[in-house]
Structures are given as structure tokens and as C-alpha cells.
């Protein structure tokens, strides 16, 4: 891995043009916004709407991010698919594009045993020639990676950590605790409201969807923590937690983040999946933008 995965990685949105197609030019602009604040890039994740992208589009998104970053910050690409074989196929193509690591959600729709998850992840890590992060998001996949399973998979030399997006502090802490004495295995926090606490407990990075809207606000959580100013790091966290509370009350995260980012003045297009905002929804998001559109002065 050419870059250490530390600090903030933005779960970057996938911009679509007026025809609903992936727009590399709009994506490059968003990548530059993140680089300005030293945020790494996590592409093709939940906020990137991977679930409505085909393989060619995922490769286009990844290639665009890698080329625009040009080594300045880490790039991690999500490659999780339902089948092991398709995940490996995508992972090999993504690896050829020059990412620093890949991330893999548990297969979704079909319930799996923990032993089957171990087989799935081990096969991927054996076949894909870049480091692999596990990605736990049971609310979307229906399959939970248990802490004991993560500990077993941490023994694989090509599995370097886990992103936990279960949503609760208890889940995040359970992974931190179980792998605390395991070398070369990091825990990345997924929920934006747990970034500061995750850093306090030992997370190496946070993966932030809200950094699309407030790249500086999220970056300040890490930068103040890194510099030892826990009070300012917590204040930045409180700002982002407030943003999360009011924005996510309107709609599922990817669509809400995209709409707020557009209303902020950044063209990232509409979400592809079937979500429609009412006038009341738009008014609520405009209030959030007016309240949180400026980064905190910390």
C-alpha cells in the first residue's frame, strides 16, 4: 500500500450529468474539493451509489478518482458484489487502476453463516493484489460480520482492517476491542457522528459521507485530534453531528447528501435510485444548508 490510511476518507458521491450518466468532469471537481482539505477518497461506496452503477461505470469512477488524486491522498475503492467471483473480477480490474486498497461489503440479500463470510473474504483477499478492508453494514446487507470473524480474518496477510457502518458505538467498539492487539489491522469508523469517539478509541480513519457537503468540517475532527486539541476536535464533531441529525431526518443518506451538496452550489446531479423530494423536504434541506453550509470556525 503506497499511502497509510489515516484521518478522513470521503465516501465520495458519484455525480451524474443531466442525462443521468456518470460525469468524470464533475467528479474530478469533487475530488479536488476533498484534496484541498487533505481528505482521502473512498469511491463506489454507499454514498457513491454503487448499487445503481454497472461494472464499467465503477471502473470509470475509480479511474477518474485515481487520476485526479495523482498520489496526493489515499484512494480506496469499494468492490463488494453478491458473488465471490464477481467481486474478485471487479477487484482485479480496480487494482490495475492504482488504488491503495479495496473495501468489500458482506454479500447482500442471501443470509450467510460466519464460516461462509470467512470463505468469501479469504478468497477475495487471496485473489485481489491490493490490500482489503472488510466492510460491515448489516442494515443494508442483512449479514453481520461478527467481531470474532473479523479477528479470524485479520490473520490473513492481505486483509488490513474493517470499516464498521453498523451505526452504533457498541458495534464500533466491539471491533476495536477484539483486534486491539492485532498488528496491521485497522478499524475505520463509518457513521459520521462517531468519528471523534472512534479516533479516541483507536480508529485509524473515518469514512465520511457528510464530507461531500462539509469537507473542511469533517477534516477538522481529525486534524484537531491529530494535533492533540481534543476540545476543538469534539466541537467539530458536534457541528457534524448536528448536520447529520437534521439532514438524515429528511431522506436516506446518499440522496440527502447529494441534494444538500447541490443546494450548496456544487453540481453533483440527482440520485439514480427512485427517491423524490417533496417541497417540504426541499425546504428542510435548505434550512440545513443555511445552518451548516459554512465550515465551523475552529
Which residues, 6 or more positions from 157, have their beta carbon under 8 angstroms from its beta carbon?
none
Residue 2 resides in a domain: no
Of the residues 163, 173, 223, 234, which is catalytic? 163
Give kind and range of the element (H or E) at residue 244.
Answer: helix 230-247
Residue 298 resides in a domain: no
Residue 71 resides in a domain: yes
Residue found under cell 468519528: 195
Residue 104 resides in a domain: yes
How far apart are the C-alpha atoms of 84 and 89, rounded to whole Å? 9
Q: Comparing 2-6, 177-181, 239-243, which segment has the lowest mean pLDDT?
A: 2-6
Residue 297 resides in a domain: no
pLDDT on residue 7? 97
Taking residues 3-13, what's their average pLDDT? 90
How far apart are the C-alpha atoms of 159 and 161, rounded to whole Å? 6
Strand partners, 208: 10
Of the residues 135, 173, 258, 292, which is catalytic? 135
User: What range defines the domain where residue 34 resides?
Assistant: 7-292
Q: Label residue 261 exposed, middle or buried (CB < 10 Å: 0-12, 13-18, 19+).
A: buried
Q: pLDDT digit string (tens) for 81-102?
A: 999 999 999 999 999 999 999 9
How far apart are the C-alpha atoms of 237 and 11, rounded to whole Å? 17
Q: 253-264 vs 279-292: helix axis angle to the nearest 10? A: 60
Q: pLDDT digit string (tens) for 219-234?
A: 999 999 999 999 999 9
Number of separate domains in the chain: 1
pLDDT on residue 1? 55
| Annotation marks residue 248 as catalytic | no
Closest CA to 268 of 48, 94, 78: 48
Q: Given a cut of 80, is residue 119 above it in pLDDT?
A: yes
| Annotation marks residue 163 as catalytic | yes
pLDDT on residue 298? 66
Residue 260 resides in a domain: yes
Q: Given a cut of 70, is residue 2 above it in pLDDT?
A: no
Give the CATH number of the domain where residue 153 resides.
3.20.20.70
pLDDT on residue 177? 95
Residue 120 resides in a domain: yes
Q: pLDDT digit string (tens) for 55-79?
A: 999 999 999 999 999 999 999 999 9
Residue 1 resides in a domain: no
Amino acid at each position: 500500500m503506497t499511502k497509510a490510511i489515516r484521518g478522513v476518507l470521503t465516501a465520495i458521491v458519484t455525480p451524474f450529468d443531466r442525462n443521468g450518466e456518470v460525469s468524470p468532469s464533475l467528479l474530478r471537481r469533487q475530488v479536488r474539493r476533498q484534496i484541498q482539505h487533505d481528505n482521502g477518497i473512498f469511491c463506489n461506496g454507499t454514498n457513491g451509489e454503487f448499487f445503481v452503477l454497472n461494472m464499467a461505470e465503477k471502473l470509470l469512477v475509480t479511474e477518474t478518482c485515481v487520476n485526479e488524486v495523482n498520489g496526493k491522498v489515499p484512494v480506496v475503492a469499494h468492490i463488494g458484489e453478491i458473488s465471490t467471483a464477481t467481486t474478485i473480477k471487479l477487484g482485479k480490474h480496480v487494482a490495475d487502476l492504482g488504488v491503495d486498497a479495496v473495501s468489500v461489503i458482506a454479500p447482500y440479500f442471501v443470509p450467510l453463516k460466519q464460516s461462509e463470510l470467512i470463505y468469501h473474504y479469504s478468497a477475495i483477499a487471496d485473489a485481489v493484489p491490493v490490500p482489503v478492508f472488510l466492510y460491515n453494514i448489516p442494515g443494508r446487507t442483512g449479514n453481520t460480520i461478527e467481531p470474532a470473524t473479523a479477528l479470524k480474518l485479520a490473520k490473513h496477510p492481505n486483509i488490513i482492517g474493517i470499516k464498521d457502518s453498523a451505526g452504533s458505538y457498541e458495534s464500533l467498539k466491539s471491533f476495536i476491542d477484539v483486534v486491539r492487539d492485532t498488528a496491521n489491522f485497522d478499524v475505520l469508523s463509518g457513521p459520521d457522528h462517531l468519528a471523534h469517539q472512534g479516533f479516541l478509541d483507536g480508529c485509524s480513519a473515518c469514512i465520511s459521507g457528510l464530507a461531500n457537503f462539509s469537507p473542511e468540517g469533517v477534516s477538522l475532527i481529525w486534524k484537531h485530534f491529530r494535533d492533540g486539541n481534543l476540545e476543538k476536535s469534539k466541537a467539530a464533531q458536534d457541528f457534524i453531528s448536528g448536520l447529520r441529525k437534521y439532514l438524515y431526518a429528511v431522506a436516506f443518506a446518499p440522496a440527502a447528501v447529494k441534494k444538500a451538496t447541490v443546494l450548496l452550489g456544487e453540481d453533483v446531479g440527482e440520485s439514480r435510485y427512485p427517491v423524490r423530494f417533496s417541497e417540504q423536504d426541499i425546504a428542510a434541506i435548505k434550512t440545513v444548508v443555511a445552518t451548516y453550509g459554512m465550515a465551523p470556525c475552529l
